[in-house]
Structure formats: C-alpha cells, structure tokens
C-alpha cells in the first residue's frame, strides 16, 4: 500500500529533519517526490539552507583588547597559584 502524497504544509515540517539527516529512510521517497514536483517547496528548502548559512556567517573571531588584557591577567594569577 502506498502512502498518501505529502502536502506542502507537511513538507515544511519535515525540512529540518531532512537537513539534519534524521529523516527516516521510509519517508525519503515521498519527500523527494514532492520536492521534485513542487517549485514552492524546493524554494523553501533553498531558503532554509540560505538561512542556516547566513546564521553560520555570524561567527566572529574578534575580541576587545580590554577583555584580552583582563583575561591574561587572570591567567597569570592562576599560573602563580599552581
């Protein structure tokens, strides 16, 4: 017996499981069938990937000098106490 087709409303609920690689294998053909035929949902999937990518780009690697100085002092104190 074949499962009923997914609606777009159901697909958007599954997108994150798909992106996190936790979608059960049994659900994947229905999900793939839907995406292959639905421009709206494949755009939604792309938007979700872009969102995750943009969020990842927020990572900063810069640090204020005062924070560095304070922490280095704390580190030196800690070293002495060893």
Binding site for other proteins (CB under 8 A): 7-10, 12-13, 15-23, 28-29, 31-33, 35-44, 46-48, 50-63, 67-68, 70-72, 74-76, 78-79, 82
CB of 2 to other proteins, least distance (A): 16
Cβ neighbour number for residue 67 with a 10 Å cutoff:
9
CB of 74 to other proteins, least distance (A): 6
Which is nearer to other proteins, 1 or 29 (by Cβ)?
29
What single DSSP character describes residue 69? H
- Give CA–CA dist 36/42, Å, rounded: 8
CB of 3 to other proteins, least distance (A): 15
Which is nearer to other proteins, 1 or 22 (by Cβ)?
22
Residues 6+ apart with CB under 8 A from 36: 42
Tell how far CA 68 is from the center of its chain: 30
């Amino acid at each position: 017996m074949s499962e009923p087709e997914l609606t777009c409303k159901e697909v958007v609920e599954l997108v994150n499981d798909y992106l996190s690689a936790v979608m059960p294998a049994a659900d994947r053909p229905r999900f793939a069938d839907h995406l292959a035929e639905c421009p709206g949902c494949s755009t939604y999937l792309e938007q979700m990937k872009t969102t995750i990518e943009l969020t990842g780009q927020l990572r900063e690697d810069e640090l204020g000098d005062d924070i560095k100085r304070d922490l280095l002092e704390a580190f030196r104190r800690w070293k002495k106490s060893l």
